[in-house]
Structure 1
Amino acid sequence: MPIATLGVTVLDCPDPRALAAFYAAVLDWRRDDAQSDEDWEELVGPEGGRLAFQRSEGYRPPKWPGTQQPQQFHLDLNVPGDRMDAAEAEVLRLGATLLQDDDGGKRAFRVYADPAGHPFCLCAQ
């Protein structure tokens, strides 16, 4: 029996609503109005997974790949391998920034920063 189960994953950011809108579009998850306010936005996935965004005054984005302002964690988002280019175009259109490409297909992932600067990966599946 586990000691605990994972509830919600929370990202600090300067603008919870804007970052929630980015991830809602990327993941096609819905906003949970009952759990959202000006300092907290929460998304719900189709299988009940939750991702939340918390306002953090003085937020400083991670500087990937350095350690002066470390990423601390990142999200791996799975994409069908034949859709990587289309997925990349969409996340860039939504406000992501490419940090590291897949080195001409030598790696099965590409690294991006979301609009608040958190690194995340699109991983070919």
Structure 2
Amino acid sequence: MTVTKTSVLVLDCAEPETLARFYAELLGGTAGPAPGDGELFLVTGRSGVVVGVRRDPSYLPPSWPVPEDAQQTHLRILVAADSLDEAEREAVALGARPVAAGESGSRPESDRTTLRRFADPAGHSFVLAAVREGLTAGSADG
């Protein structure tokens, strides 16, 4: 018998409650402390995706996009292709910083039709990725 498990991608930062609220608003979800763990906040999105945000008092933001190829990991947030511009406006209004085309490590401007790159308020990288018609927010494609 397999033990029931849940996987959670956890982002470290100095202010987890603030970053959890950022992702909750961006994903249209909710954020709250993890049961029994005052250092971890959980974000649950509409599709049930969970992201954890953990306090690390010694946190230093990633250096991506400099040096090149230093992104290592990132969140990929899937969005309908016709909503990509609106999703970008929402992310920026919430405090995301666009990673401009031409910055070291970023892709060409033509890539903006399907992908937009950002750093969250704590410096973690994430992308808004357009999905083809018929794919759901929980799809692994895109």
TM-score, normalised relative to structure 1: 0.82
Match of 2:117 in 1: 111
Match of 2:26 in 1: 26
- Alpha-carbon distance between aligned partners in 2 of 1:36 and 1:30, rounded to the nearest angstrom: 18
1:12-66: CA deviation from partner (whole Å, max 9, x where unpaired): 0110000000000011121245537652211223454321100111211111123
Matched, 1:92 2:70: no
Q: CA deviation at 1:103?
A: 1.1
- Alpha-carbon distance between aligned partners in 1 of 2:36 and 2:125, rounded to the nearest angstrom: 23
**Contact residue 10 and residue 51 of structure 2 kept, 8 A:** yes
- Alpha-carbon distance between aligned partners in 2 of 1:92 and 1:99, rounded to the nearest angstrom: 11
CA separation of 1:36 and 1:16: change in aligned 2, threshold 3 A? farther
Q: CA deviation at 1:88?
A: 0.7
Matched, 1:9 2:1: no
- Alpha-carbon distance between aligned partners in 2 of 1:90 and 1:76, rounded to the nearest angstrom: 16
The alignment of Structure 1 onto Structure 2 pairs a total of residues equal to 124
Identity of aligned residues (%): 37
Matched, 1:120 2:126: yes
- Alpha-carbon distance between aligned partners in 2 of 1:34 and 1:57, rounded to the nearest angstrom: 18
Match of 2:76 in 1: 76
**Contact residue 43 and residue 50 of structure 1 kept, 8 A:** yes
Gaps of 5+ in 1: none
Corresponding letter in the other structure for 2:8:
V
Q: CA RMSD in A?
A: 2.8
**Contact residue 10 and residue 53 of structure 1 kept, 8 A:** yes
**Contact residue 17 and residue 38 of structure 1 kept, 8 A:** no
Q: CA deviation at 1:107?
A: 5.1
**Contact residue 27 and residue 46 of structure 2 kept, 8 A:** no
